[in-house]
A and B are shown apart, each in its own frame.
Chain A
Amino acid sequence: MKKYILTVLFCVGGLGGFSQEAVSVSTPNHEQDIIARFSAVNTLSSQFVQEKHMTLLADPVISKGKFSFSKNPAQIRWEYTEPFQNGFLLTNGKTFRLEKGIKKPAKHSFARNIAAQMMMWLTFDLAELSKTYNVVYFEGGVHFIPKEKITVLEKITVWFSTENPQALDRIRLDEPGGDYTVLIFQNPQINPVLPKEQFQ
């Protein structure tokens, strides 16, 4: 459960403008500051906009959705609302697909693997992430670069919100070959009371 603790804390959206990327040295204080900032978040919910840039797509595709996170018990609901209604739900250690809001068991091991991968990225336990990624800090954000060269992702970059120290502004997932996805978080709510039904 520990690995979920800081997970989606970084997914807390902020409406602030993009921070200027600048390579910066990481100091223990800086790292501790980030951990301290986000450790106070137990639940959160946010809307998101996803920009998909792929060579397979004639034009970038914009999707919208919302997500909710609970630290204890560890639960995530990630759901698109446009252009399709789908997503996934992790609850009680089990993975479900969401199709038009309806929960369906993720029977296929491939689907479960995808959900498990998603969970890993969304959970932001620095200790756990450091095992898989080299963590490089810069002013206003962090790069996560996979330690293994053979991977489906080349780099993950997160930007902290300038307005809300417990929130993230956006995440960019860079794939080998130039494809990338940007997730922009909007209207974050820190520690809201989440209805149980969201995860049921």
Chain B
Amino acid sequence: MKLMVTAHTKRLLLAVIISALVGSCVWGLFHIHPKESIQGLIPASLREQVELFERSPLNRKVFAVVLAQDEETALEQAQLLQEELLERNLIKPGFVPTADTALALVRSLPTHFSTTDMPLLQDKLTPQSIRKSMEDNYEKLIGLESFLVKPLLQIDPLHLIEIMTRKLALLNPHTAVRYEEGFLTSQDGKLRAGMYDLATPADFSSAQKMNQIFRDFSTQLPAGTEAFFLGGLRYTAENVTAIRHDLWKIGALALLSLAIIFAVFLRNKLALLIYVLPLIVTPVAALITYKIFGQISGITLGFGSVVAGLSVDYAVYVFYAMEQGGKKIGTRRHVTSHLWAAFLTSSLCFAALFASSIEIFRQIAVFAIAGLFLSLLLALYVLPVYWQTLPCRPVQNKLIFKNHFLSKRGAWMWIGLLLLLGIWGVQHTHFSTDIQSLNALSTVFKNQRQALEQTLGNQTHQALLFIKGNTQEDALEHNEQFARQFQLPLATAEVFPSQHAALQHKTAWHHFWTAEQINTTRKQITQEAVRLGLTPQAFEPFFEMIENAAHQPAFDMTQFYDPLVPLADGSWAVVNLVPDEKNFQAAAEKFGAIFISGPVLQRTLLTSIKEQAVRVVWLAILINLIAVSLLFGSVRKALVAFLPVLLAACFTFACFALLKVEVNLFVLVFLPLLTGLGIDYGIFQLVRAQMGANEQTAYTSQALWVAALSTLAGFGVLIFASHGVLFIMGLSSFLGISGAVLAAQFILPPLLKESK
């Protein structure tokens, strides 16, 4: 009686401790917001490039697009949308040039006057050109709009403002695009896109606000009219929405799958504790990961289903062992050895992910190792307390659970066939190097993006060039030095001169406008003015501007575009939009500048990820071979344990090729994972082969199958994820685990029988 009370108290105490632990972790998790950043998905070698892009003014642009059935509606709704976004403080008011802007631009001419402008200025000073300009001025002065243009014409009768507008035009990558009434406009006028600077951080909260405004705005639109936004913010919205949706869907499907496995194989209320394990393990592992990295990605949390599946494995083995032969000391010893070996190999595989510089991989490694360790402890030392009184149940003796289904010869034939299929599969699998495949983009979004791209034209031939400096002035000087050294045109160098360059420009202006040059020009302008009926002093402000060049106020060009971005290390960079050409790329490399173009970025990304994946896989294989060899005291046995891994990989790539799956870069995360899981099944068969006949009957193949199916229930459901990364991890794992368990169940036993 005393013994029963003690056992009951022990179970109760354990339940309370675990519940308190899990409860506090769940509470902690509710205060965590998954953070999604492309930074976490890319190798460290590309992080600087991506960080620069994220800090560039281009990243803060948002396009508010209206697509209507007629031009008038498109314009009207685009204007209303602009008012709404301004009112809600989501965008910054755009810069609207006025007559004063033109005056300020003309006054800024001396500080921007470079030697390249000399030919244009000389053209403006020929007698024919002066006559034409003056006739044009007269026509404007006697027109209705004279009061608007008069101040500008007085200070700039020769239209020198064109020198400035030519420079400014170089800044605008969309010069070929129709731009009307403040909107980028399609040729038929039915699409109007406002290009704005975000007034809020480009985070998920802003994305949600923007989503809500567009949803509300869309309800008021006339029939046949559509409004949407595009830009970095939309990518954030699409990705986070998809991941959040996936997390719920995957969680529900995983639970449903596990319930089916329970109903078919386990059918004991005490076995329900197996499925309580993931609920205990996942929040704790998530919190540990969060504490270590200071953040956690939704993708890592999505990986929780994988850890859930793996943690169930351990509990399944213990459950079957205790049900079939729990009282046999030998069986329990073997189970303990097996689970520690399985944990060691799986953890080593995940630990190999630390060799990668991709932060998500590191998060997954910590998350998985923490989860598996906790599962192991619970499976070996807590759950048995509740399973002491399990009744012995006869195992199902179906064909699928029979070990020696194949002969040795048959096993070798299958090995050969799978190897051939694997080679063919690797050769025919389509690897997508498109960085977009790492995003979860809806069809609606893709169609909307296409509509805007048709209006803006193909911008893929543009690249970003970042020229850095310790200070703003330093960055501007380096920018000018780059343009000068490589004879490559940089619009920013023309429009945003450093203080040193501005001084040089003023000097050049002063040298050009000699007293003789001024007198000649004054004479010509006065002659033309008098001929047309204008007073001789009409354009005296022009000459005052020339003579007082040193005191002219500089116009703040950043009102149009601010090319200077602060960097994390306190330095600055000038952002240039340049043609995606090799001469710019070569010059950037030589100068130490950073050149980012879509195709180059993709190539670098692919190369870097491939290198990392190869490193991780080899490391996982090597350390596991060593570990398994040490555990079983035989390299040959270790190689046999690896056979399910090899065959599963062949099976997976053959299926990819047959199903014509477009595989994205994240399939590489699956390879070390498959190594860990495949070895587990191999170790199971090795442990089993070492057992005596009595112990073998207690450690059944059914346990292996239930464990594999449970893992599949965790992994496989990722197939239903809409996010491309989660999907490919799910599909790879589903195929890999299926292949590994089939190989472990049917191919390994005939080989082990011989070796034994």
What residues on A are CB-neighbors of B144 within 8 Å?
Answer: 50, 78, 118, 181, 183
- Whether a CB of chain B sits under 8 angstroms from the CB of A80 is yes
A84's closest neighbor in chain B, by CB?
B139
B180's closest neighbor in chain A, by CB?
A94
| Complex Cα gap A110–B148 (Å) | 10
The answer to whether A92 and B142 have CB atoms under 8 Å apart is no
What residues on B are CB-neighbors of A61 within 8 Å?
Answer: 142, 533
Query: Interface digits, A21-52 against B, CB 8 Å rule (1 contact, 0 not)?
Result: 00000000000000000000000000000101
| Complex Cα gap A181–B99 (Å) | 19
The answer to whether A80 and B143 have CB atoms under 8 Å apart is yes
| Complex Cα gap A56–B157 (Å) | 13
B137's closest neighbor in chain A, by CB?
A56
The answer to whether B71 and A92 have CB atoms under 8 Å apart is yes
The answer to whether B146 and A58 have CB atoms under 8 Å apart is no
The answer to whether B535 and A92 have CB atoms under 8 Å apart is no
- Whether a CB of chain A sits under 8 angstroms from the CB of B720 is no
Q: Classify the interface of chain A: helix, strand, loop or mixed.
A: mixed
The answer to whether B145 and A118 have CB atoms under 8 Å apart is yes
The answer to whether A93 and B71 have CB atoms under 8 Å apart is yes
What residues on A are CB-neighbors of B99 within 8 Å?
Answer: 110, 113, 152
- Min CB–CB distance B365 → chain A (angstroms): 55
The answer to whether A58 and B75 have CB atoms under 8 Å apart is no
The answer to whether A113 and B533 have CB atoms under 8 Å apart is no
The answer to whether B535 and A56 have CB atoms under 8 Å apart is yes
The answer to whether A59 and B97 have CB atoms under 8 Å apart is no
| Complex Cα gap A78–B76 (Å) | 24
The answer to whether A93 and B147 have CB atoms under 8 Å apart is no
- Whether a CB of chain A sits under 8 angstroms from the CB of B102 is yes
Q: Classify the interface of chain B: helix, strand, loop or mixed.
A: helix
- Min CB–CB distance B104 → chain A (angstroms): 13
- Min CB–CB distance A114 → chain B (angstroms): 5
Q: A93-B71, A173-B147 are in contact. Are A109 and B97 (CB under 8 A)?
A: yes
- Whether a CB of chain A sits under 8 angstroms from the CB of B544 is no
Q: Which of B454-512 contact A (CB under 8 A)?
A: none
Q: Which of B180-211 contact A (CB under 8 A)?
A: 180-181
What residues on A are CB-neighbors of B181 within 8 Å?
Answer: 93-94, 112
What residues on B are CB-neighbors of A183 within 8 Å?
Answer: 144
- Whether a CB of chain A sits under 8 angstroms from the CB of B355 is no
| Complex Cα gap A118–B141 (Å) | 15
- Whether a CB of chain B sits under 8 angstroms from the CB of A164 is no
Q: Which of B508-545 contact A (CB under 8 A)?
A: 530, 533-535, 538
Tally of B interface residues using CB under 8 Å: 27
Q: A52-B142, A152-B147 are in contact. Are A113 and B535 (CB under 8 A)?
A: no
What residues on A are CB-neighbors of B533 within 8 Å?
Answer: 57-59, 61
What residues on A are CB-neighbors of B530 within 8 Å?
Answer: 58
- Min CB–CB distance B106 → chain A (angstroms): 12
- Whether a CB of chain B sits under 8 angstroms from the CB of A55 is yes
- Whether a CB of chain A sits under 8 angstroms from the CB of B150 is yes
- Whether a CB of chain B sits under 8 angstroms from the CB of A63 is yes
What residues on B are CB-neighbors of A93 within 8 Å?
Answer: 71-72, 75-76, 181
| Complex Cα gap A52–B140 (Å) | 12
- Whether a CB of chain A sits under 8 angstroms from the CB of B149 is yes
| Complex Cα gap A109–B148 (Å) | 13
Q: Which of A53-82 contact B (CB under 8 A)?
A: 54-59, 61, 63, 78, 80
Q: A93-B75, A109-B97, A112-B181 are in contact. Are A56 and B141 (CB under 8 A)?
A: yes
What residues on B are CB-neighbors of A162 within 8 Å?
Answer: none
What residues on A are CB-neighbors of B97 within 8 Å?
Answer: 109-110, 113
| Complex Cα gap A179–B154 (Å) | 14
- Whether a CB of chain B sits under 8 angstroms from the CB of A86 is yes
What residues on A are CB-neighbors of B76 within 8 Å?
Answer: 93
| Complex Cα gap A61–B98 (Å) | 27
| Complex Cα gap A21–B68 (Å) | 50
- Whether a CB of chain B sits under 8 angstroms from the CB of A135 is no
Query: Interface digits, B71-102 against A, CB 8 Å rule (1 contact, 0 not)?
Result: 11001100000000000000000000111001
The answer to whether A175 and B142 have CB atoms under 8 Å apart is no
The answer to whether B147 and A181 have CB atoms under 8 Å apart is yes
What residues on A are CB-neighbors of B98 within 8 Å?
Answer: 113
- Min CB–CB distance A2 → chain B (angstroms): 13
The answer to whether B147 and A179 have CB atoms under 8 Å apart is yes
| Complex Cα gap A55–B533 (Å) | 11
The answer to whether B146 and A181 have CB atoms under 8 Å apart is yes
The answer to whether A52 and B535 have CB atoms under 8 Å apart is no
What residues on B are CB-neighbors of A190 within 8 Å?
Answer: none
- Whether a CB of chain B sits under 8 angstroms from the CB of A15 is no
What residues on B are CB-neighbors of A181 within 8 Å?
Answer: 144, 146-147
| Complex Cα gap A58–B141 (Å) | 12
| Complex Cα gap A116–B97 (Å) | 13
What residues on A are CB-neighbors of B146 within 8 Å?
Answer: 52, 54, 181
- Whether a CB of chain B sits under 8 angstroms from the CB of A20 is no
What residues on A are CB-neighbors of B141 within 8 Å?
Answer: 52, 54, 56-57
Q: Which of A97-137 contact B (CB under 8 A)?
A: 109-110, 112-114, 117-118
The answer to whether A110 and B102 have CB atoms under 8 Å apart is yes
Q: Which of B664-678 contact A (CB under 8 A)?
A: none
- Whether a CB of chain B sits under 8 angstroms from the CB of A153 is yes
The answer to whether A56 and B145 have CB atoms under 8 Å apart is no
- Min CB–CB distance B154 → chain A (angstroms): 7
What residues on B are CB-neighbors of A173 within 8 Å?
Answer: 147
- Min CB–CB distance B559 → chain A (angstroms): 13
A112's closest neighbor in chain B, by CB?
B181
What residues on B are CB-neighbors of A110 within 8 Å?
Answer: 97, 99, 102
What residues on A are CB-neighbors of B538 within 8 Å?
Answer: 56
| Complex Cα gap A198–B99 (Å) | 30
What residues on B are CB-neighbors of A54 within 8 Å?
Answer: 141, 146, 150
| Complex Cα gap A80–B533 (Å) | 19
- Min CB–CB distance A83 → chain B (angstroms): 8
| Complex Cα gap A113–B143 (Å) | 15
A61's closest neighbor in chain B, by CB?
B142
| Complex Cα gap A57–B306 (Å) | 85
| Most-contacted residue by chain A among B72, B144, B148, B533 (CB, 10 A) | B144
- Min CB–CB distance B290 → chain A (angstroms): 51
| Most-contacted residue by chain A among B72, B147, B530 (CB, 10 A) | B147
The answer to whether B72 and A117 have CB atoms under 8 Å apart is no
| Complex Cα gap A55–B150 (Å) | 11
The answer to whether A152 and B148 have CB atoms under 8 Å apart is yes
The answer to whether B154 and A114 have CB atoms under 8 Å apart is no
| Complex Cα gap A86–B136 (Å) | 12
Q: Which of B148-162 contact A (CB under 8 A)?
A: 148-150, 154
B165's closest neighbor in chain A, by CB?
A108
| Complex Cα gap A196–B76 (Å) | 23
B538's closest neighbor in chain A, by CB?
A56
What residues on A are CB-neighbors of B143 within 8 Å?
Answer: 63, 80, 84, 86
| Most-contacted residue by chain B among A59, A117, A153 (CB, 10 A) | A117
Query: Interface digits, A154-194 against B, CB 8 Å rule (1 contact, 0 not)?
Result: 00000000000000000001010001010100000000000
- Min CB–CB distance A104 → chain B (angstroms): 14
A-B contact sample (11 more), CB < 8 A, given A84-B139, A113-B98: A57-B142, A57-B534, A58-B530, A58-B534, A86-B139, A86-B143, A110-B99, A113-B99, A118-B144, A152-B99, A179-B147
**Would you give 23 A-B contacts (Cβ < 8 Å), ordered by A?**
A54-B141, A54-B146, A55-B535, A57-B142, A57-B535, A58-B534, A59-B533, A61-B533, A63-B143, A84-B139, A84-B142, A84-B143, A93-B72, A93-B76, A93-B181, A94-B180, A110-B97, A112-B181, A113-B97, A117-B148, A118-B145, A179-B147, A183-B144
The 6 closest A-B pairs by CB, nearest first: A56-B538, A114-B145, A61-B142, A152-B147, A175-B147, A93-B75
Which of A's residues lie within 8 Å of B, judged by CB? 50, 52, 54-59, 61, 63, 78, 80, 83-84, 86, 92-94, 109-110, 112-114, 117-118, 152-153, 173, 175, 179, 181, 183
Which of B's residues lie within 8 Å of A, judged by CB? 71-72, 75-76, 97-99, 102, 139, 141-150, 154, 180-181, 530, 533-535, 538
